[in-house]
Amino acid sequence: MPKFDVSKSDLERLIGKEFSVEEWEDLVLYAKCELDDVWEENGKVYFKLDSKDTNRPDLWSAEGVARQIRFALGMQRGLPKYKVEKSDVVVYVDEKLRNVRPYGVYAIVEGLKFDEDSLSQLIQLQEKVALTLGRRRREVAIGVFDFDKVRPPIYYRAAEKDERFVPLGFTEELTLEEILDKHEKGREYGHLIRDKPYYPLLVDSEGNVLSMPPIINSEYTGRVTEKTKNVFIDVTGWDLRKIMLALNVMVTALAERGGKIKSVKVVYKDFEIETPDLTPREFEVDLSYIRKLSGLDLKDEEIKDLLEKMMYSVEIESEKAKVKYPAFRDDIMHARDILEDVLIAYGYNNIEPEEPKLAVQGRGDPFKDFEDAIRDLMVGFGLQEIMTFNLTNKEVQFTKMNIPEEDIVEIANPISQKWSALRKWLLPSLMEFLSNNTHEEYPQRIFEVGLATLIDESRETKTVSEPKLAVALAGTGYTFTNAKEILDSLMRHLGIEYEIEEIEHRSFIPGRVGKILINGKDVGIIGEIHPQVLENWNIEVPVVAFELFLRPLYRS
């Protein structure tokens, strides 16, 4: 979770009211933070705040925390409004950056009065957003420049690797390639662009380099000090929506300091946009849903009041709340997100606990007992249980299994491409396990009882997780018959009759693969793994396997 330092006096200046340290412990809860530490330095009190929400970058600075607290205390209400004036500044984006770092969005903030605290918050917010939301600058990188030194129009262009400029903190010019090797930030983030045919540069009309996204600013424009009055902000990345969010967070934080926001026209080959776009987002929620899940008997006006304290504008009509929320938020995806804000404004500590009205006796889920029985059977058949991650990626699920890609449940903003999706079937996980244990003695007889996540448009979440059993036998001499013997024994113990119908499947050897049928219903697959799949996984011995859904086998 993001942690950041703020000074108590700076927070109170932004709010317009002073509080004791004890009061602050409760106040920061409105901003989904906890007071992690308190200390005094040079006569000033500082807090270390621990944000509990990685989807709210607007709450990762003193400006955002103070804004949320002002609204929660009723000092302001409804939707915060920020005026955006048009400027005549234009940024032209080079088409050659399409496969390098394709998107950039920009803004100007004028009339700022920086001091030690505000500069510290600007730097912290810039880094926290790029680190967390930006996945260590891969998805979002932010540059802030002294705009008075910039000569528009500005060009975000592809540069040859031997072009030169003075990077921030240096006194001599370096080539772009040298920056990746010699500069601290180049060594840290150079992997993001090192293998690209060009490197991105942001330059003005006089050829002055502003920055080399996502690595480092230039010494000429990239040093913001207490003397800086006007700043130019650039945000680059791969997802236009995500970098727009980051830009909105940055400019509204500076607006809380009295800055005046001005937009910039961004010209791409195929389209133009004006940034930032602070148009409020909209959502609708049933009031009955809020009452039911909160357990609170809230009147319509009470719900409206609570939402206005969380920076929503609210219109209530036909038992629904139509809300608008600020463009620096992108975390409202479900009615539960609205409900959470209602509860934060109400105060979790103000909710009175109630004794359950029904006396119930807890018991284990019978299906879990069934899964345990399956595990016992597999161990009894001489197999070793493994437990692998539900998270995987398309290469493991499809490419290495020699089959075309299909739609699976993917993570919108994965921390690592290795863990970017939920698995659709278990056998790839078993193959990966065998691949990681080729140094161990054969035969290797393994199984797993675990979940596979499938797309199901009929459900609220559009997904369903199904329990499955997968078995793999690796070693010289293993054939289809060996896998079928285990399947036969399993079905016999469960008292289930089944059939195998020959099919074609590119993960298995033709003629040695079949689907498993129970009462004519397809419940699984069995066969000998194809040599190409074995080669993909660097496995040098035959592997036979089967996988099937467990619910069709369950009898309560």
* Strands 231-237 and 543-549, sheet pairing: unpaired
Q: How far lies 509's CA from each of 13, 82, 114, 156, 525, in Å?
A: 71, 64, 69, 52, 13
Give strand ranges (E) for 374-507. Answer: 384-385, 391-392, 421-422, 444-455, 463-474, 499-502
Buried b or exposed e, range 515-551, using 16+ CB within 10 angstroms: bbebeeeebbbbbbbbeebbebbebebbbbbbbbbbe
331 annotated to a ligand binding site: yes
Q: How far apart are the first and last CA of the chain?
A: 43
Which amino acid is located at 77 in the chain? R
Closest CA relative to residue 374, chosen from 289, 496, 458 = 496
Closest CA relative to residue 503, chosen from 512, 514, 492, 491 = 514
Q: Are 312 and 319 in contact (CB under 8 A)?
A: no
* Strands 421-422 and 384-385, sheet pairing: unpaired
Radius of gyration (C-alpha) of the chain in whole angstroms: 29
Closest CA relative to residue 322, chosen from 281, 287, 283 = 283
Distance between CA 15 and CA 13 in Å, rounded?
5
Tell me the CB-side half-sphere exposure of residue 393, using CA atoms within 13 A: 11
Q: Are 525 and 504 in contact (CB under 8 A)?
A: no
DSSP 305-325: HHHHTTT-EEEEETTEEEEEE
Distance between CA 527 and CA 470 in Å, rounded?
12
User: What DSSP state is assigned to residue 96?
Assistant: G
* Strands 384-385 and 320-325, sheet pairing: unpaired
Q: Are 325 and 245 in contact (CB under 8 A)?
A: no
Q: What are phi and psi of 307, to 5 degrees?
A: -70, -35
Distance between CA 488 and CA 481 in Å, rounded?
10
Q: What are phi and psi of 473, to 5 degrees?
A: -120, 120
Question: Three-class SS string for 121-148?
Answer: HHHHHHHHHHHHHCCCCCCEEEEEEEHH
204 annotated to a ligand binding site: no
Q: Are 153 and 205 in contact (CB under 8 A)?
A: yes
User: Annotated binding site for Mg(2+), which residues?
Assistant: 331, 337, 340-341
Residues at the binding site are 331, 337, 340-341
